[in-house]
């Protein structure tokens, strides 16, 4: 309970400090919205010319894109910049100072760095998803809506867990940032249906870089499409992926903090 209050306080402090430069903050958000829209426009240009991509049409690809943006933003807000900067904390030794404080270092790092910069993503993602749900061929029932929300949550959990595990490698190898470029290489692929990739890449995206669970697997389930390699297991696995990778990240965090020796020689 006390931890929760502290987390809330840290988030409020972060919001207040970010809002100090309100003009620049919103200019940055608008720029991000424009850039994400331009990537979506490229997909639109593709289906405008070729009608479909591996059997996916515009409304379906729009749903996929909005899910990809929302799931990523929700997960990355509590992980990406914080864990990317862990490398710097380790190098400067400020992480060592955190270990002596009477509060979980994870809680402090994540919530003191809570990234409200993802507000732009969320805004765009919600608008696109409402649009997609309006035009996508889905038989809406309470069950599909519940599934959509639960799988979005699971997607955010996979994203946060994976970004956290990458950042953790800094505790052991001091440098971690180059691994993020591998992450974002795969991350861009999640804007497209998994079906279009060679089996090797599909396999990777369902296991060691589990980003298929952050978009194309759950969206294919909602749309009633076949998921390559997973088949009938897809609906359940999309929901279980989140808790599973979060548990894995928790284990990794404990192990890494235990093994942490500091960067200095």
Residues that bind other proteins (CB under 8 A): 23-24, 27-28, 30-32, 34-35, 37-39, 41-42, 45-46, 48-50, 53-54, 175, 177-179, 181-182, 184-186, 188-189, 192, 195-198, 201
Nearest approach, Cβ of 188 to other proteins (angstroms)? 6
Q: Which is nearer to other proteins, 45 or 146 (CB)?
A: 45
Here the tokens at position 79 are 């992980």
Q: Kindly give, in sequence order, each residue whose CB lies less than 8 Å from that of residue 213, ignoring residues fewer than 6 positions away.
A: 154, 155, 158, 206, 237, 238, 241, 242
Q: Which is nearer to other proteins, 6 or 196 (CB)?
A: 196
How many of the other CB atoms lie within 10 Å of CB of 55? Answer: 11
Here the tokens at position 33 are 């919205």
Nearest approach, Cβ of 200 to other proteins (angstroms)? 9
Alpha-helical regions (H) of 51-103: 58-76, 80-84, 86-92, 94-99
Here the tokens at position 252 are 């990794």
Nearest approach, Cβ of 236 to other proteins (angstroms)? 27
Nearest approach, Cβ of 146 to other proteins (angstroms)? 32
Q: Which is nearer to other proteins, 188 or 255 (CB)?
A: 188
Q: Which is nearer to other proteins, 47 or 107 (CB)?
A: 47
Here the tokens at position 206 are 């369902």
């Amino acid at each position: 309970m006390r931890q929760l209050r502290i987390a809330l306080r840290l988030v409020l402090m972060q919001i207040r400090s970010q809002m100090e430069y309100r003009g620049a903050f919103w200019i940055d958000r608008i720029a991000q919205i424009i850039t994400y829209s331009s990537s979506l426009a490229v997909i639109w240009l593709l289906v405008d010319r070729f009608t479909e991509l591996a059997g996916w049409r515009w409304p379906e690809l729009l749903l996929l894109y909005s899910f990809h943006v929302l799931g990523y933003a929700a997960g990355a807000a509590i992980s990406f910049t914080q864990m990317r900067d862990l490398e710097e904390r380790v190098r400067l030794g400020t992480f060592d100072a955190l270990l002596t404080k009477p509060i979980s270092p994870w809680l402090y790092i994540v919530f003191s760095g809570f990234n409200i910069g993802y507000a732009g993503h969320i805004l765009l993602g919600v608008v696109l998803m409402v649009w997609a749900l309006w035009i996508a061929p889905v038989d809406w029932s309470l069950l599909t809506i519940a599934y959509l929300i639960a799988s979005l949550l699971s997607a955010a959990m996979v994203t946060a867990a994976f970004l956290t595990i990458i950042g953790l490698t800094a505790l052991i190898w001091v440098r971690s940032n180059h691994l993020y470029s591998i992450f974002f290489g795969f991350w861009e692929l999640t804007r497209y249906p998994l079906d279009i990739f060679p089996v090797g890449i599909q396999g990777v995206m369902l296991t060691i870089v589990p980003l298929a669970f952050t978009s194309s697997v759950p969206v294919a389930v909602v749309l009633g499409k076949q998921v390559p390699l997973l088949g009938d297991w897809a609906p359940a696995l999309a929901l279980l992926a989140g808790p599973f990778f979060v548990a894995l990240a928790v284990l990794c965090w404990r192990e890494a903090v235990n093994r942490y020796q500091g960067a200095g020689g």
